[in-house]
Structure 1
Amino acid sequence: MYIDPDVDDGLRNEAFEGKTSKNDLIRKYLKLGMQQGAVDAASSSGKKATRAKSSKAAATGPSHRAT
């Protein structure tokens, strides 16, 4: 896996300061990113469902026929 040199330096410094390994930090941040992705996907999914309901209601709303 390629890691940008600036990111790698940051990981190295954080690992040193936290007395852990870069691998542990990568796993930690990967897990956090995946959790955030799941939250974002769920949030986005809910917004899509709300928009779909709104669109459907607008499309099937009361019809106005001239009498």
Structure 2
Amino acid sequence: MALATWSSSFASCIAVQLADSLTLTPGTDFTAEVSRDGGTTWTAVTLSLTMPQLAGVKMFEGQFR
């Protein structure tokens, strides 16, 4: 699994790549949280499938504003 994160004063984002062969469901089998204050507080992010079956991976992304 690969994680990519980025943030600004306006939004926090996360991307999760999973092997296409895995049948995991976001929110059930895995969750994501982001922090915009160095880890003091965390906010749950809803992940959506944004890139199904590209080069053997699925990509899920979530954003918090």
TM-score norm. by structure 1 comes to 0.20
Structure with greater contact order relative to length (CA < 8 Å, sep ≥ 6): 2
Greater CA radius of gyration, 1 or 2?
1
TM-score norm. by structure 2 comes to 0.20
Per residue, is there more strand in 1 or in 2? 2
Per residue, is there more helix in 1 or in 2? 1
